[in-house]
Structure 1
């Protein structure tokens, strides 16, 4: 793919997602059946990459979020109190499997982090959290600076987090999607 990859907001109604295949059916189905509903309800903002034919080839969804402090190390908590930590949720991130193995997942995540950095400049938040879908996803997020939140319930997905202050230090936020992570 020679053209630059940039995110754009999801359209309503969603077009070009019929052939999207990340290799994880629950992520594919969510994009087609739930993303626009979440957008309309103001519960999440989904951003997509499209190919030259207008087909969706990747997406991520961000939402404002309150993070329970249970399991978050004390240095990353809001305070000693048990109130939730304000932050953001990276609810979904998926890349069409035709693009797997090209480090484009890192590029997509970087664009999601840039959006969080932009949002943090307008409305504060302390943590970005993500619930991994499997061990491969957990490894991907850990490789990009996310840390585990200790969970006492083994039936729930593993939750990982990054401090927004670290994201702001690593990402060059700005207008447009061309910025990249520093380093």
Structure 2
């Protein structure tokens, strides 16, 4: 299997066989991703491989958001003195079961964070936010320097400046 090709999701991509082991993430990609893109509520990026250049093997979705310092229990350092902190949400993140366990999760996260940093450089944004779907996802994000917030279970954040250093992007 060659290196993945990262591109924005279109109607030409085959999402029908995608199976990451989580039905919610599978169905979101198959049913809602294109309409979310059309409605400009999020952007979905997919990974393709040369051996089957239309079959989606991984994806992530990003969306602008804000984090309320008081509601989420953000530290003052993360909030930068703001009550409503501009951010980007890594809204969806999944790898097809055929490529899981091969180190692609790290590469997909780097791809997603790179896109988010690019968007933040154009529009601003202090944080990257993830809402982990389970304990394994929570631990995955923690491994890459995401910090849990105090009041919202499963939510983790990373400052853009931390992302620039942690992932060597910029």
Q: Answer yes or no: is the 8 Å Cα contact 1:151–1:158 preserved in 2.
A: no
Aligned to 2:21: 23
Helix, strand or coil at the partner of 1:56 = coil
Q: 1:108 to 1:10 in 2, by over 3 A?
A: same
When you count helix as a share of all residues, which structure comes out higher? 2
How many corresponding residue pairs?
166
Counterparts in 2 of 1:27 and 1:100: CA distance versus 1, 3 Å: same
1:139 and 1:173 map into 2 onto residues whose CA distance is 22
Gaps of 5+ in 2: none
Match 1:166 to one of 162, 166, 170: 162
Q: Map Cα deviations across residues 18-65 of structure 1 (whole Å, 9 max, x no partner).
A: 100001110000001110111001110000001332200000001111
- Alpha carbons of structure 1 residues 164 and 108: separation in structure 2 relative to 1, 3 Å: same
What RMSD in Å do the two structures reach over aligned CA positions?
Answer: 1.5
Q: What TM-score comes out, normalization by structure 2 length? A: 0.92
Matches within 5 A, 1:4-153: 4-11=3-10, 13=11, 15-51=13-49, 52-53=51-52, 54-70=54-70, 71-79=73-81, 83-151=83-151
Shift of 1:166: 0.9
Structure-1 separation of matches of 2:63 and 2:6: 16
